[in-house]
């Protein structure tokens, strides 16, 4: 979800707006202002159609946000951390920091979102009935009642990672007692649902259902299939790295160079000559910083003879470091969040080694092949 704009926090949860959200926001507004409302309600001015369409689109995405907040509030009650909620082209997603601890927790968190949508549908329907005499008010309320009902029902489709797929995983987990196996079958159900959407979208092309509508179903299916696959792979990854400590995967191949070494010499002798990609920068045995290819690429080749390692390095106090007993899965998550490719392993101020993304992925592949 890179490329997201921060909208602040609700209940302490960061709310983000992904740039792709603007695409669907415009499409929803246009479809309401030029299609749905003009076909159902005559006599409005053009400005009214656009104003009501825009307000309705905003309220629709507010409903999506409340749906995700429903999940998030229950997750927090179940002691599951929530990193953020992001609205994007396919709706919204609440990113939790860990898997639910029990099948019951998974079930309660999963059903919370659809229950919020059904409740909103009822509220909007009631308000629409009360304001029926004023079409400009009742029209968007009727639409919001319908769309929230659809949103709740759609999310209960039993295909992971939809809410219904999570409910299915909770039931399989409860009956079978194995979280990974439950995730495997729920993900396969999600892939079947995804292929169903793709086939339906393709059918729209050939049987006159419309190019745009068919393409939208194909995109939804593609997204669900990728999400189902990646969700199961993440669970397998967690299982593979369970109990593995940073000490077990660190490497000591990262060379230490003095602060005054010139960049051109570093590139010629160490990077091109020896294939090294990162270096600890030290002064008299004290760690001063870390320099990587990322740091060096920022300097034009013609200027590398004029600069030294300490002038382009990342200072030691700005380098994210891990303890040798830290769980590798937590380390990998931190690397992703910080967008770094390597982290030093430090204990008591003493440098023990380095964990690189390349070496970590290599270790993961070996453990997966050996089922260690």
| Opening angle at CA 227, ends 226 and 230, nearest 5 | 85
DSSP one-letter string for 159-218: STTSHHHHHHHHHHHHHH--HHHHHHHHHHHHHHHHHHHHHHHHHHHHTTS-HHHHHHHH
- Is residue 183 a contact partner of residue 169, using CB atoms and an 8 Å limit? yes
Q: Which helix (H) or strand (E) holds 57?
A: helix 46-77
Task: Please work out, in degrees rounded to the nearest 5, the angle formed at the alpha carbon of residue 322 by the alpha carbons of 319 and 328.
Answer: 130
For residue 222, count other CB atoms closer than 10 A to its CB: 15
What is the chain's length? 372
CA atoms within 13 A on the CB side of 278: 23
Q: Which residues lie below 8 Å from residue 321, measured CB to CB, with a gap of 6+?
A: 343, 344, 345, 346
- 15-29 burial string, b = 16+ CB within 10 Å, else e? bbbbebbeebbeebb
Instruction: Find the Cα–Cα–Cα–Cα dihedral 32, 36, 40, 41, rounded to 10°.
Output: 20
Kindly give the pairing relationship between strand 4-10 and strand 314-315: unpaired
How many Cα atoms sit within 13 Å of 163 on the Cβ side? 25
Tokens for 141, please give them: 């309320």
User: In angstroms, what is the C-alpha Rg of the chain?
Assistant: 26
Report helix, strand or coil for 123.
helix
Axis crossing angle, helix 179-206 with helix 211-240, rounded to the nearest 10: 160
Cα separation of 229 and 275, whole Å? 35
Please identify which of the residues 68, 78, 106, 268 carries the catalytic annotation: 68
Give yes or no: 68 in active site. Answer: yes
Per the structure block, which two tokens stand in for 213? 């509508």
Catalytic amino acids?
A: 68
């Amino acid at each position: 979800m890179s490329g997201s704009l921060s909208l602040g926090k609700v209940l302490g949860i960061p709310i983000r707006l992904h740039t792709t959200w603007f695409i669907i926001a415009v499409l929803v507004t246009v479809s309401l202002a030029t299609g749905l409302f003009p076909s159902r309600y005559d006599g409005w001015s053009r400005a009214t159609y656009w104003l009501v369409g825009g307000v309705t689109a905003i309220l629709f995405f507010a409903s999506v946000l409340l749906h995700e907040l429903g999940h998030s509030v229950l997750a927090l009650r179940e002691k599951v951390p929530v990193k953020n909620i992001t609205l994007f082209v396919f709706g919204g997603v609440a990113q939790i920091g860990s898997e639910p601890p029990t099948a019951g927790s998974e079930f309660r968190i999963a059903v919370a979102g659809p229950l919020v949508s059904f409740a909103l549908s009822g509220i909007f329907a009631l308000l629409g009935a009360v304001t029926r005499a004023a079409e400009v008010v009742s029209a968007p309320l009727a639409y919001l009642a319908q769309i929230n009902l659809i949103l709740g029902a759609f999310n209960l489709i039993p295909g992971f990672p939809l809410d219904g797929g999570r409910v299915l995983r909770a039931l399989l987990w409860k009956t079978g007692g194995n979280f990974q196996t439950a995730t495997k079958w729920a993900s396969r159900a999600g892939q079947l649902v995804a292929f169903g959407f793709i086939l339906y979208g393709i059918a729209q092309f050939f049987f006159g259902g419309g190019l745009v509508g068919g393409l939208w179903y194909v995109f939804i299916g593609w997204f669900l299939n990728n999400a189902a696959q990646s969700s199961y792979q993440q669970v397998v990854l967690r299982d593979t790295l369970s109990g593995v400590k940073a000490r077990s995967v660190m490497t000591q191949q990262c060379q230490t160079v003095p602060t005054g070494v010139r960049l051109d010499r570093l590139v010629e002798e160490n990077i091109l000559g020896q294939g090294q990609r990162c270096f600890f920068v030290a002064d008299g045995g004290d760690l001063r910083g870390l320099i990587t290819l990322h740091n060096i690429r920022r300097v034009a080749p013609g200027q590398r003879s004029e600069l030294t390692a300490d002038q382009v390095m990342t200072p030691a106090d700005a380098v994210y470091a891990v303890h040798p007993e830290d769980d590798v899965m937590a380390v990998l998550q931190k690397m992703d969040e910080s967008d770094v490719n390597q982290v030093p392993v430090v204990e008591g101020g003493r440098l023990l080694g380095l964990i690189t993304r390349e070496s970590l992925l290599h270790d993961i592949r070996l453990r997966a092949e050996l089922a260690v």
